[in-house]
């Protein structure tokens, strides 16, 4: 069953992208010192911000999918350690998958999937989380497609960390 710690972590994961974009948006609007250096001193068009916000609504769907897996008991080991290890492993794979799929989307045959992201002529704080639904779906399916062990702690003990000590003494061969 899903516990309170997992719910809190998943809510943070779901909201983090939007929270960071909001901080940068407020910083730019209020001309905070960290926003003084710019490449182009141009204002964002309100239509762009509205489009990017609309495109970012489905961005936290991966946290919802993970919550559903936890709620339906897809993982045998629901300890906090297993949850943290799964979170770290998924994050590493997500970065690799996002980079590889993003590079592939720049190929001419696949660029239609990624074209929505490039409609923004000036990067706003929301551009980074603005994806077409098809692009986000491919990204999330790449995360869901990876075979994950149901018990991450047991998986690590079996495949990654194997102590090389013996628990029984072996009989010594007799000398002739």
DSSP line for 50-90: HHHHHHHTTTTHHHHHHHHHHHTT--S---HHHHHHHHHHH
**CB–CB of 92/129 below 8 Å?**
no
Nearest to 91 by CA among 20, 9, 172: 9
What pLDDT is recorded for position 151? 64
Q: Provide the terminal-to-terminal Cα distance of the chain, rounded to the nearest Å.
A: 62
What pLDDT is recorded for position 9? 77
Return the domain boundaries, the chain: 4-147
pTM comes to 0.60
- Cα Rg of the chain (Å, integer): 23
What pLDDT is recorded for position 134? 84
Query: In a structure prediction context, what are the per-residue pLDDT tens digits for the chain, which is 176 residues long?
Result: 567 777 787 778 778 888 888 888 898 889 888 888 877 777 878 898 898 888 888 777 777 777 777 777 666 666 778 778 777 887 788 888 889 988 999 999 998 988 888 888 788 888 888 888 888 888 877 776 556 666 666 766 666 655 555 555 556 566 65
Alpha carbon distances (Å) from 138 to 17, 22, 49, 124, 173? 18, 25, 24, 24, 61
Neighbouring C-beta atoms of residue 18, cutoff 10 Å: 17
**CB–CB of 57/134 below 8 Å?**
no
Please, how many CA atoms are within 13 Å of residue 141, restricted to the half-sphere of its CB?
Answer: 7
């Amino acid at each position: 069953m899903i516990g309170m710690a997992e719910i809190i972590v998943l809510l943070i994961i779901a909201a983090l992208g939007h929270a960071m974009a909001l901080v940068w948006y407020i910083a730019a609007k209020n001309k905070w010192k960290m926003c003084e250096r710019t490449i182009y001193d141009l204002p964002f068009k309100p239509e762009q911000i509205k489009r990017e916000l609309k495109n970012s609504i489905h961005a936290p769907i991966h946290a919802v999918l993970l919550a559903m897996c936890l709620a339906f008991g897809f993982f045998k080991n629901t300890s906090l350690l297993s949850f943290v290890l799964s979170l770290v492993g998924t994050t590493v794979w997500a970065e690799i998958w996002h980079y590889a799929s993003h590079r592939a989307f720049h190929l001419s045959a696949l660029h239609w999937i990624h074209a929505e992201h490039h409609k923004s002529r000036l990067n706003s704080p929301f551009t980074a989380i603005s994806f077409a639904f098809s692009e986000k779906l491919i990204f999330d399916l790449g995360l869901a497609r990876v075979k994950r062990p149901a018990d991450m702690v047991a998986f690590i003990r079996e495949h990654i960390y194997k102590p090389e000590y013996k628990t029984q003494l072996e009989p010594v061969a007799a000398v002739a």
